[in-house]
Amino acid sequence: MTVPGSMTTPLTQATISTEITGSREHYARHLADGGSARTHPDRAYPPYRSSLLRHPKQPLVAVRDPEMVELSGPAFGVTDITDLDHDLTRQHQGEPLGERITVTGRVLDRDGRPVRGQLVEIWQANASGRYAHQRDQHPAPLDPNFTGVGRCLTDDQGGYRFVTVKPGAYPWRNHDNAWRPAHIHFSLFGTAFTQRLVTQMYFPGDPLFPYDPILQSVTDDRARERLVAAYDHERSVPEWSLGYHWDIVLDGPAATWTEEGH
């Protein structure tokens, strides 16, 4: 096996792609043997080299206590948000460069009930594929009119809406010639801390999908497709913006009593 980061043997996309295929075949056998479908990535996913020392080796310990604190969760409100937070194109003096888009959708729990009044946070690279982060050394231009951070609260139907520009793909150092498909990072809260989710939204038809070990860490085909937004022409605004739609379903139990409490 190639040593990660070795100077003498660069880790190639071919090696990573072979590992990605191996993981997928392993999962297919798991299903064929009657195993259950798996939504979330295995935390130990070798094609994503940074996971090697950062995943637990012991099984998680199941907690099924109806009195546990984690069945409740943090609350957010109007003091945590300003009116401009959902519009990433209006946070500076000028307009950012790039393709103006809207991203809308609903946040639901796994019973399909809307998650109301909860915090949605996003962050993303600019249209050139550069983050406004000191440690991003990708030699693509920063945009003085784009930071790439947004927040909003979900409405009574669980709906959220952001205005932004389509982020660019960017290189990273997992292996030689590694590129991340364009994506927007999302952070979500439910009514219960058990429902906490941090994830990434992708854009339909991106040719980089098969090469990316982070997206491919979701080995279930249908689960992986749930990370890809839909282009929705009905939501595009003439002469203004392209519309993308992405619904998010939070996993994890939620106490029914929080319904009454809120």
Partner 1 sequence: MTPTTTPAPQPPTPSQTVGPFYGYALPFTGGGDIAPPGHPDTLTLHGRVLDGAGQPVPDAIVEAWQPAPDGSRTGAPGSLRRDPVTGAVIGRDTVTFTGFGRVPTDADGHYTLRTLPPGGVAYISLAVFARGLLHHLHTRAYLHDAGPLGDDALLAGLSPVRRATLITTSDGPRVHRFDIRLQGGDEHEETVFLDFG
- Which residues are known to be catalytic? 131, 170, 180, 183, 185
Contact string 194-233 vs partner 1 (x = CB under 8 A): x-xxxxx-------------xx-xx-x-xxx-xx------
**Residue 131 contacts residue 143 (beta carbons within 8 Å):** no
The single residue among 27, 131, 160, 244 that binds partner 1, judged by CB under 8 A, is 131
**Residue 159 contacts residue 106 (beta carbons within 8 Å):** yes
The single residue among 95, 221, 251, 259 that binds partner 1, judged by CB under 8 A, is 251
Instruction: Decide: helix, strand or coil at residue 86.
Output: coil
Nearer to partner 1, 196 or 239 (CB): 196
- Which range binds partner 1 by CB under 8 A, 10-18, 25-33, 125-133, 236-244? 125-133
Told to check if 136 binds partner 1 by CB under 8 A, we report yes
- Which range binds partner 1 by CB under 8 A, 5-13, 15-23, 70-78, 232-240? 70-78
Nearer to partner 1, 103 or 119 (CB): 119
Nearer to partner 1, 102 or 194 (CB): 194
Instruction: Give the C-alpha distances (Å, rounded to integers) separating 174 from 10, 48, 51, 125, 219.
Output: 11, 7, 11, 18, 19
Q: Apex CA 181: angle with CA 163 and CA 47, to 5°?
A: 140
Please give the residues from 154 up to 173 whose contact with partner 1 meets the rule CB under 8 A: 157, 159
Told to check if 60 binds partner 1 by CB under 8 A, we report yes
End-to-end CA distance of the chain: 53
Told to check if 235 binds partner 1 by CB under 8 A, we report no
Cβ burial of 216 (10 Å; 0-12, 13-18, 19+) is buried
Please give the residues from 73 up to 92 whose contact with partner 1 meets the rule CB under 8 A: 73-82, 84-85, 91
Told to check if 39 binds partner 1 by CB under 8 A, we report yes
Q: How far is the CB of 255 from partner 1 (least distance, A)?
A: 9
CB atoms within 10 A of CB 129: 19
For 14-49, the DSSP string reads HHHHHHHHHHHHHHHHHHHTTPPP--SPPS--TTSG
Nearer to partner 1, 19 or 220 (CB): 220
For 95-116, the DSSP string reads PPSS-EEEEEEEEEETTS-B--
